[in-house]
Amino acid sequence: MSGVVSRSTPGFRRSFKVPNADALRWFPGHMDKGLKQIESKLSVVDCVIEVHDARVPLSSRNPNFRHTVLGNKPHLLVLNKKDLTDMRWQKEVDERLKSEHGISDVLYTCCKNDRDKNVDQVVPKAIELISQSPRFNREDSEEMNLMIIGVPNVGKSSLINRIRNKVLKKRNSNPVGAEPGITRSVMNRVKVSASPLVFLYDTPGILSPNIKNAETGLRLALCACIKDHLIGIEVIADYLLYTLNKHGNFKYVEMMGLEGPTDNIGTLLTKGAMKMDKYEKRRSHEGYINRPHLSAAAEIFVRAFRDNKFGPVMLDSDLLTNNN
């Protein structure tokens, strides 16, 4: 897509060197406890709703997951946090998901927006997919079960709450939470449709992210799908700076008290800490001195990205333009 191809700034880095790639290597993706829990429930699940972060529609999705784990079971991919991603990439994302992941049922959602129409489409779409497919061992059962799964922090609980609250509002006018336990129906599932009879498991299945390489880990860390300390907040901040520069997005300049774009994270964090009055006491041979607090500035910089202060960003744009 010509309009939003990454622009590189002359003299700035064209690739990112990960200083502690080893930290990501031990990430226990293979010891996937969550996957076992999901597999144990699969025999009673009729449609799996996989939630993923729309800023990283390809990174960390295991393209084999659908077929190896689910077989032919209906599967709906929900790309949530669409408010944080650059939706101009939607066509490329859809094409790539179809050609490489075999996925054509995708809904883009924003759980923060009460009026998001696609959130309301999740259950009807799942029912439609189930109705169109053979139900094998479940064909004698009148009820359908839905299960939401995904890696941490993509919005699984938010989506479950949105669906659940809508059903509760319809059923009676009690505000959610007025009757504790009301949603804790039999077997931890909540009825989301009476005709056909459809239930949604109210605890999501948690998948470990599939970290193919260090850069995937950095993207997931930026989206808060893996814990900051695994990589280190200053490295995440550096990757954010590299990413924003790559996208020609220089909104950070003013916020971090810079005179212009920079490719140097040390400069950005030092100036940012000074602007935000963040100092730490350090011992030197002359006694204690106040130094700009770099990790505090890094926290603020990364949080600003997660809070959408720099506008929507498609982190997988290079995967969509290159054939890798």
Residue 148 beta carbon to Mg ion: minimum distance, rounded to whole angstroms: 9
Residue among 199, 241, 232 at smallest CA distance from 214: 232
Does 157 belong to an annotated binding site? yes
60: helix, strand or coil:
coil
322 has binding-site annotation: no
Known binder of ligand: residue 154? yes
CB-nearer residue toward ligand GDP: 214 or 300: 300
3-class secondary structure, 282: strand
Q: Is 83 annotated as a binding residue?
A: yes
Is 205 assigned a ligand-binding role in the annotation?
A: yes
Residue 74: contacted member of Mg ion, ligand GDP, none (CB under 5 to 8 Å, by partner type): none
**Cα atoms found within 13 Å of the Cα of residue 189, Cβ hemisphere only:** 19
- If one asks whether residue 157 binds Mg ion (CB under 5 A), the answer comes out as yes
Q: How far is Cα 180 from Cα 168, in angstroms, rounded to an integer?
A: 12
Considering the complex, state which of residue 153 and residue 267 has its C-beta at the smaller distance from ligand GDP.
Answer: 153
Nearer to Mg ion, 55 or 293 (CB): 55
Q: What is the spatial distance between Cα 170 and Cα 178, in angstroms, rounded to a whole number?
A: 15
153, interface contact from Mg ion, ligand GDP, none, CB < 5-8 Å by kind = ligand GDP
Length of the chain: 324
Quick one: what does residue 158 bind among ligand GDP, Mg ion, none, with the CB cut-off 5 to 8 Å set by partner type? ligand GDP
Partners of 161 in beta bridges: none
Complex with ligand GDP: residue 165 or 267, whichever CB lies closer: 165
CB of 204 to Mg ion, least distance (A): 6
**What type of residue is 218?**
L
Q: Which residue in 128, 131, 154 sits closest to 59, CA to CA?
A: 154
Q: Among 52-60, 154-162, 228-236, 248-256, which window interacts with Mg ion (CB under 5 A)? A: 154-162
37 contributes a contact to Mg ion by CB under 5 A: no
- Which residues contact ligand GDP by CB under 6 A? 80-81, 83-84, 110-112, 150, 152-158, 204
Residues in contact with 270: Cβ distance below 8 Å, sequence separation at least 6, in sequence order: 292, 294, 297
Residue 172, CA distances (Å) to 27, 193, 208, 209 in order: 45, 14, 37, 38
81 is in an annotated binding site: yes
Q: Are 231 and 217 in contact (CB under 8 A)?
A: yes
| Residues facing 79 on adjacent strands | 52, 108
Q: Is 82 annotated as a binding residue?
A: yes
Residue closer to Mg ion (CB basis): 101 or 156: 156
Q: Which residues are annotated as a binding site?
A: 80-83, 153-158, 205
* Binding interface with Mg ion (CB under 5 A): 157
Q: Which residues are annotated as a binding site for GTP?
A: 80-83, 153-158, 205
